[in-house]
Structure 1
Amino acid sequence: MKQIVLVAHGSPSDPEPQEDTMRRLAEAVAAQSPGSLIRGATLAMPGSLEGALAGLDAPIIYPFFMAEGWFTKRELPRRLKEIGVEAWHMDPFGVDPALPELITQACLQAASSAGIEPESADLILTAHGSKVARKSKNSAYDMAALLRRKTPFWRVQVALIEEPPFLEDIARQSNGGICLPFFALRAGHVLDDIPDALDAASFHGELLPPIGEHPEVPALIAAAIARL
């Protein structure tokens, strides 16, 4: 039996909502992964990772992160070592080869529902960014490059929260369209910073939920697990 633990960062200031989200995500993935044991955890909730790993003899970590970076390369291995568990991790959610197609369909469907012509509209991919680590930014730019080839949007632009190019600046120069948060979970940036920046820029377009909330995400994760 495959033993998979879905791990997200979580929100240290308010860990319970995202902890609940990871539990529900694990249940949804398990429903599409017969013969596998699926659990969810966040790093922010004290005891969550320890509880999810309890009783497992061959756990595999699925990082519900948008990039392979500091948390997946350094912090997660440190936490596992602290717990005394040996586990290897799969590729993060944000670099799954099926994700560009999921994003494409989500954005085109949203444009159609809003009466937006993609050929004359922007797709703004909004990511975290980092003043320290480049992986977060690079992951967004890599995804934008793929989306430029896959979608008919006039422009596919990257906008960041923590570093330039800032979302407010990109949105102010936009002619409307779709803004997609390139985030796994709904937390402070998605709840506050992104809508605030769009309001400040008088953005006339559609703000979508973070891609990690898309209803097809459990199937995407289940397919990745099935490939192991």
Structure 2
Amino acid sequence: MSGTRSPSRTGQATDAGAALIVAHGSPSAPEGPEAAMRALAERVAAHLPGWRVQGATLAARGSIAAAVAELGALSAEGRALLVYPHFMADGWFVSEEVPRRLAAAGAAQARVLAPLGLDPALPELCLRRARDAARAAGMPEREATLLIAAHGSPSDPRPRAAAERVADAVRAARAFRAVRTGFVDEAPYLADAARIEGPALCLPFFAGRAGHVEEDLPEALAEASFAGPVLDPIGMDDEIPALIASALAARQKRRAA
């Protein structure tokens, strides 16, 4: 897997920092998500002059090991590799599997940041995108319900907590008549939460277009006769590369202080 380097003014790569962006990927079709993560890494690197940035997925065999080999577990200045999980919660994959894979790749000292779903800047981005979509649809925000569609988990409270955190922040802005959450894997299930009277729109609280967004979400909305706008998954938003870059730069700055 090729590396992504931000050039310095002299055209040579500097070593301002090294970062790996990790996503779950798709075990049945790993190529598409791998390409998407490489593209995301390039866009993040554009915001971080002098950094080396890679993207990898858990699903693609050898992807994380190859990225670590390219980046190195430590920078030339002895700084540990920074890892940004492109996940919506700090569940088992982020808290257990990502560190295990890093250790197996020789990067046990890598610093794993909070995942995308817990990024402090994400609730405001979700609110802006929902308001933009309502206006584009000619939908009065004060009369509309926002449905936040998320994964959830019957055995781990963390995925639900991440979605509810964003829902609470959007509610606090009082932009919409109501804000609901609906989940793929726990109650309230999407098909139930999507039974909404009056104008409504749906924000998928997912990192990318995987099976849940392409299959489970449309099926649930169709079952509920939900006819409102459905936004792109928030993890694919055009502002996500800048958000990730900001988190990485802030973490690097704290380490250097």
TM-score by length of 1: 0.97
Taking the aligned partners of 2:37 and 2:59, their CA distance within structure 1 comes to: 12
Alignment-derived partner of residue 149 in structure 2: 126
Aligned match of 1:46 in 45, 61, 86? 61
Note if contact 2:82-2:248 (Cα within 8 Å) is conserved in structure 1: no
Note if contact 1:185-1:210 (Cα within 8 Å) is conserved in structure 2: yes
Answer 1 or 2: higher relative contact order, Cα 8 Å, separation at least 6: 1
Q: Does 1:25 align with 2:40?
A: yes
Q: Does 1:182 align with 2:205?
A: yes
Larger radius of gyration: 2
Alignment-derived partner of residue 204 in structure 1: 227
SS of residue matched to 2:82: strand
Note if contact 1:175-1:204 (Cα within 8 Å) is conserved in structure 2: no
Note if contact 2:18-2:53 (Cα within 8 Å) is conserved in structure 1: yes
Taking the aligned partners of 2:85 and 2:66, their CA distance within structure 1 comes to: 16
Tell me the matched-pair count.
Answer: 228
Listed as ranges, the gaps of 5+ residues in structure 1 are: none
Q: Does 1:77 align with 2:99?
A: yes
Listed as ranges, the gaps of 5+ residues in structure 2 are: 1-15, 75-79, 252-257
1:143-190: CA deviation from partner (whole Å, max 9, x where unpaired): 111110124111111100011101111112343311011011110000
Q: How do residues 148-167 of structure 1 correspond to structure 2 at under 5 angstroms?
A: 148-167=171-190
Taking the aligned partners of 1:226 and 1:170, their CA distance within structure 2 comes to: 38
Deviation at 1:13, TM superposition (A): 1.2
TM-aligned CA distance change 1:213 to 1:181, over 3 Å = same
Taking the aligned partners of 2:167 and 2:229, their CA distance within structure 1 comes to: 18
1:38-76: CA deviation from partner (whole Å, max 9, x where unpaired): 110000000111111114123111011111121111111
Aligned match of 2:248 in 211, 225, 228? 225
Alignment-derived partner of residue 91 in structure 1: 114
Note if contact 1:176-1:203 (Cα within 8 Å) is conserved in structure 2: no
Deviation at 1:10, TM superposition (A): 0.8
Alignment-derived partner of residue 254 in structure 2: none
TM-score by length of 2: 0.86
Identity among equivalent positions (%) equals 46
SS of residue matched to 2:64: helix
Letter paired with 2:91: G
Taking the aligned partners of 1:74 and 1:225, their CA distance within structure 2 comes to: 21
1:105-144: CA deviation from partner (whole Å, max 9, x where unpaired): 1111110000111111111111101121110011111111
Note if contact 1:63-1:72 (Cα within 8 Å) is conserved in structure 2: yes
Deviation at 1:3, TM superposition (A): 0.6
Note if contact 2:68-2:105 (Cα within 8 Å) is conserved in structure 1: no
Letter paired with 1:140: A
Taking the aligned partners of 2:237 and 2:61, their CA distance within structure 1 comes to: 27
